[in-house]
A and B are shown apart, each in its own frame.
Chain A
């Protein structure tokens, strides 16, 4: 059987308020509107498509975080993943990418996944490295920034995005850990049947100790802008009037 793990992270949505907690090192989570990390959603869709094109294939969604992350695990199950793993951690200040990856590698090792898919970057911490470290720790092949994937027996071929509009085809043998770039498919929405069916699917919880961290956020803050910007304000009509003036007399178009 082909076994695929997809790492899905719960992060603030792009329009969520981000108010900084009194500790000054993390957000006031009460106010955050969480969603599944964007590129992880594409990674999950890619796994579900691979499953549909492969006989006997299991997709497992895995998330590390406090109790709240079960919501996106259930969302993954509702979309068609077979089971979930919740790496349960009480604190929300695990921010060291190496210790995060180590936690995943330890938890996933005994499962012997053929393929681990993850997003290329989390929208909160943005380390851009978790999937590759896990792959290396588990002695798998690794590939990054995949904009397409193709399974071929015990190999996988990816089209990897490079700098300045270039791409490169990369081929590697399984097991492999691959990070997914957004846009390579069209993520599905869970169906009503899927949502009902998800309730019967297993979510295994592992309790995690997060003491081994070499990096910590010492301060989280709003960027202070040194930018000379002219704000145009007022009612929408005034704004439009002034903007047209700017177009004509300042920018001269």
Chain B
């Protein structure tokens, strides 16, 4: 029943979402009578292991291998596969990061064991864990049942657990050696880079009017622009609006766009998918206008209006003038 938590490196510190995965493991370990092992690897394995040693865990494994100094999906998948094969784990936990999306499916294929990705909750039923994930773009939840006693790879959505709940402790670090056949690493990676910033800086805006796919077409963007103007705010959008070319990429809010925390975030025709929400949930006041009463955006909004933006927004502009 033991649990392995794999740590991701965020510039020498444990990635916030890996800490959340540790919290998940700590939450259930006593109920399942399981031990928790964490795995530190990569260029900063030493620093990650040291940081993890402050928490209540059973063991920290640290891999020193120059083949893992820079990330490769093949290298990471092979290394973790080896660790899993040597020990008897029931669950391997990850934060659902971009890197995890990139290499964990490979481990699933190598071991022929399922990867339950992007869970938001878990509960114990008859000795095993039942996981809950968002489906249909966050509109419905699904409880997922596992069918056998073998190993499951599991990742958790950002903020499903809070790293404030980490249990402190003192854990020992064990160095382990593994050999990685570098001919198995198929990809070559250049250094990560950032695109030069666009002209729109949303991070300092006090008022943001944000449009989603519900705006329908490029020509309708102007009503949102007019509203932003009437409120003295900035215009932003969800990803599909940028994908369709209705606004330039520097307008995008979300996991692959900007993160904002204005005093007012007015969401027009935005459904509230997690990748959008992570970029705006820090807003002081979220007002959502959506014609679907069940849109997930209403789960995080402070004020909600079930209605058609084309009926409400023009009148709103009028009354603000």
Contact = CB atoms under 8 A, between A and B. Distances in A.
A binds B: yes
A124 B136 CA distance: 4
B126 interface: no
A232 B303 contact: yes
Interface string B187-229: 1111111110000000000110000010000000000000000
A127 B117 contact: yes
A213 B285 CA distance: 44
A125 B213 CA distance: 21
Contact of A214 (B114, B139, B206): B114
B165 interface: no
A160 B231 CA distance: 37
A218 B258 CA distance: 36
A182 B242 CA distance: 10
A243 B298 contact: no
Interface string B283-306: 011010000101010111111111
A222 interface: yes
A126 B194 contact: no
A222 B141 contact: yes
Contacts of A161: 98, 256
A191 interface: no
Pick from B102, B255, B285 the residue with the most CB of A within 10 Å. B102
Contacts of B186: 141-142, 172-173
A123 B303 CA distance: 27
Contacts of A119: none
B144 interface: yes
A253 B186 CA distance: 55
A53 interface: no
Contact of B315 (A127, A183, A236): A236
B11 to A, nearest CB: 11
Interface stretch (B20-28, B56-64, B103-111): B103-111
B189 A168 contact: yes
Range, interface on chain A? 35 or more
A224 to B, nearest CB: 9
A130 B114 CA distance: 11
Interface string A151-170: 00000000011110111111
Interface string A31-53: 00000001000100000000000
A123 B105 contact: no
B115 interface: yes
A91 to B, nearest CB: 16
Nearest to A101: B109
Nearest to B150: A214
B299 A14 contact: no
Given A126-B133, A145-B102, A214-B147, A243 B316 contact: yes
A144 B287 contact: no
A145 B134 contact: no
A220 B320 contact: no
A78 B283 CA distance: 44
A14 to B, nearest CB: 6
A80 interface: no
Contacts of A42: 243
A225 B299 contact: yes
A37 B94 CA distance: 26
Nearest to B308: A236
B264 interface: yes
B183 interface: no
B319 interface: yes
A98 B102 CA distance: 15
B240 A18 contact: no
B67 interface: no
A157 to B, nearest CB: 9
Contact of B136 (A97, A123, A160, A231): A123
Interface in A62-102: 95-98, 101
Contacts of B114: 96-98, 214-215
Interface string B133-149: 11111111111111110
A126 to B, nearest CB: 6
Given A136-B110, A173-B186, A237-B315, A183 B239 contact: yes
B136 A18 contact: yes
A97 B115 contact: yes
B98 A162 contact: yes
A186 B244 CA distance: 7
A126 B193 contact: no
B274 to A, nearest CB: 10
A137 B231 contact: no
B140 A239 contact: no
B294 A222 contact: yes
Closest 10 CB pairs of A and B: A183-B243, A136-B109, A132-B105, A129-B105, A218-B145, A169-B190, A141-B186, A219-B143, A166-B192, A144-B102
